[in-house]
Amino acid sequence: MPIVTPEFGSKVFVVTKLIRREKAGCAENKVTKRESPVTLKVWDESPLNKECLFLGTRTLKNGRREFDSDHGYYFCPDDHFKAALVSPGPNENPVYVPLEAMTELNGHEP
């Protein structure tokens, strides 16, 4: 069953937000076919519990950053997923949230 996203500007309540993290790792380099150090770039969840304004959806990717002596650093995506972009307030930067972590608030303010 697909998740229905709210309209632009709708108020939503968000339970968790996504934060981009880097983790050291080791994997086979696709170019050199040798084991080499890589930086894993993943989206982790962090609590938010706040009323926000829905701005839209985006596609985010988890993957790894590898180094090749001929081409320098490059990003290899491992998987991708949809996330919502919401604004927590007028003085805060927008954040990404999992689609499952938000609920649309029904009702109008007086």
Per-residue pLDDT tens for 17-74? 999 998 887 666 666 666 667 788 999 999 999 999 999 999 999 998 887 778 888 8
What pLDDT does residue 25 have? 73
Is the pLDDT reported for residue 107 higher than 70? no
What pLDDT does residue 79 have? 94
- Give the helix, strand, coil percentages of the chain, each rounded to 5: 5, 70, 30
Domain ranges (residues) in the chain: 11-104
Q: Name, of 4-13, 68-77, 84-93, 100-109, the range with top average pLDDT.
A: 84-93
How many Cβ atoms are within 10 Å of 18's Cβ, its own excluded? 20
